[in-house]
A and B are shown apart, each in its own frame.
Chain A
Amino acid sequence: MTRGLVLAAAIGVLSGCASTADRDPRDPFEPLNRGIYRFNDKVDTAIARPVANAYQKGVPAEVRGRVRNFFGNIGDFFIGVNNFLQGKFEDGVSDWARFAFNTTIGLFGIHDVATDMGYEKHNEDFGQTFGRWGAPSGPYLILPILGSSTVRDGIGTGIDLYVDPLTEVRPYHLQYGLAGLRLTQTRADLLDASRILEEAALDRYVFQRDAYLQRRRSLIYDGQAPREKEPEDDTDKDKKPR
């Protein structure tokens, strides 16, 4: 199935290659990425967004909240692992406390009792851990279906998926059902963001890329990223005497 998707994406790329003379140094594969972006966009428009919209309209907010909590709770365990790997032991302990309280008192995670107890949810993954260890992001990538990534974050996502407990769930139809529900919930939570992106951007691809790269940088530094230097592409030209 995955192979089919990659193939379909590759065909999308070949059919509409746009070549740009001066490419962004962070995005050397822009033509390829734009192809996969268009493919993802088609899948999103045809399937993911309508399903997420229907889910948001048809399922009460309270139930959606529990679904979000349930999958979020499973995530908290690995968020803790990543905090430990990054040497942030206090955060890691807090994440595992969340996992412990929410799994038990919170009935398998459907109630987020830990937040009310003062254990705040964190955002970590293996891509961030590699970044914290000093790995550069590498070129920007658009992954089929999964969307914005980089070489580093893509490898991170691979590990995230490899350790994902959902892959252990049997029978398979239950596993696919849960995976589908999680995807739907995730997409539904992004409905506002994707609408804002559509309104705000002149070129959605560029806007989304820059936002992703900024966001990841901020997450690696846990929101305390030092200010980035201003780009100085034309500075030299302007400084020359006229």
Chain B
Amino acid sequence: MTLTKIRSLASTALAAAALVAAAPVPAQDVAPDQLVKTVTLEVVDLIAKDKEIRSGNRAKLVQLIDAKVLPHFNFHAMTALALGQSWNKANPEQKKRLTEEFRTLLVRTYASALAAFSEQKFDFRPLRAKPSDTDVTVQVRVLQPGAQPVPIDYSMEKTATGWKVYDVMVGGVSLVANYRTEFNNVVRESGIDGLVKNLSTKNRALEGAGLEKK
């Protein structure tokens, strides 16, 4: 118990340090919609400028997402939400492994989605929230020629280290909710360890495929 506390404290401190180092404005002071806009535009711009990423270098894209986007995600909360009831059955070590593996999987998914959208225009919706709110939804729409805009909703929560994303909804599909059935199916069949193993196998396979392509 104490160990986890120290560990989570340490990782929070680390994340905070990384944020402070990266951003000129203290992250706590940036409004959530502003944060989403700045990060999205910065990443899309970096992708557009990078010939290697545009020609399909997935490892480099994942690296970029890792550095720029991930500090603003709360993977602990995302994993807990995706597991639902099963989360309480996991021990601290299992929780840590699950969070790590889920994070790896989400980064790849997010990278693919962003790469697919990077040439489109974005419409950043004004935030509809009170200044005192600590849980908001930031809405962005991807405008694509000849099709209905794709809404992307970021569910964000205010933390000591700034606003953190704990769910992303693309076209009305919540990423976290979508994993819940899958995760619970695996947990029912082969337990928490089975899910850790399943996720890790999936991640290693994707890594292998990525290396092959590049």
Q: Given A192-B116, A214-B174, A214-B177, 10 more contacts at CB 8 Å?
A: A120-B148, A121-B146, A196-B113, A202-B182, A202-B199, A218-B172, A223-B151, A225-B172, A231-B180, A234-B86
A230 to B147, CA, bound (A): 32
- Is A19 on the interface with B (CB-CB < 8 A)? no
Contact with B along A223-242 (1 / 0, CB 8 A): 10100101111110010000
Q: Would A196 and B180 count as touching, CB distance under 8 A? A: no
A24 to B113, CA, bound (A): 28
Listed in ascending order, the chain B residues whose CB lies under 8 Å from chain A are 84-86, 88, 105, 108-109, 112-113, 116, 145-149, 151, 169, 171-174, 177-186, 188, 198-199, 202, 206
A196 to B146, CA, bound (A): 21
Q: Would A228 and B112 count as touching, CB distance under 8 A? A: no
A177 to B172, CA, bound (A): 33
Listed in ascending order, the chain A residues whose CB lies under 8 Å from chain B are 22, 24, 65, 68-69, 72, 112, 115, 120-123, 189, 192-193, 195-196, 199-203, 206-207, 210-211, 214-215, 217-219, 223, 225, 228, 230-235, 238
Q: Would B178 and A214 count as touching, CB distance under 8 A? A: yes
- Could you say which of B85, B86, B109, B173 contacts A215, with CB atoms under 8 Å apart? B173
In the complex formed, the residue of A with least CB distance to B153 is: A223
- Chain B nearest CB from A118 CB (Å) reads 13
Q: A210-B177, A234-B85 are in contact. Are A121 and B182 (CB under 8 A)?
A: no
Q: Would B145 and A112 count as touching, CB distance under 8 A? A: yes
Q: Would B177 and A122 count as touching, CB distance under 8 A? A: no
Q: Would A202 and B178 count as touching, CB distance under 8 A? A: no
In the complex formed, the residue of B with least CB distance to A191 is: B116
- Chain B nearest CB from A105 CB (Å) reads 15
Residues on A with C-beta less than 8 A from B145 are: 65, 68-69, 112, 115
- Chain B nearest CB from A147 CB (Å) reads 16
A214 to B186, CA, bound (A): 21
Q: Would B112 and A121 count as touching, CB distance under 8 A? A: no
- Chain B nearest CB from A82 CB (Å) reads 13
Q: Would A120 and B149 count as touching, CB distance under 8 A? A: yes
Q: Would A215 and B177 count as touching, CB distance under 8 A? A: no
A123 to B148, CA, bound (A): 6
A65 to B149, CA, bound (A): 15
- Could you say which of B85, B173, B183, B198 contacts A218, with CB atoms under 8 Å apart? B173
Q: A200-B105, A210-B181, A214-B177 are in contact. Are A121 and B85 (CB under 8 A)?
A: no
- Chain B nearest CB from A26 CB (Å) reads 9
Q: A207-B182, A210-B181 are in contact. Are A121 and B109 (CB under 8 A)?
A: no
A234 to B184, CA, bound (A): 10
In the complex formed, the residue of A with least CB distance to B109 is: A200
Residues on A with C-beta less than 8 A from B198 are: 202
Q: Would B181 and A228 count as touching, CB distance under 8 A? A: no
- Chain A nearest CB from B167 CB (Å) reads 11
- Chain A nearest CB from B123 CB (Å) reads 10
Residues on B with C-beta less than 8 A from A217 are: 172
Residues on A with C-beta less than 8 A from B84 are: 230-231
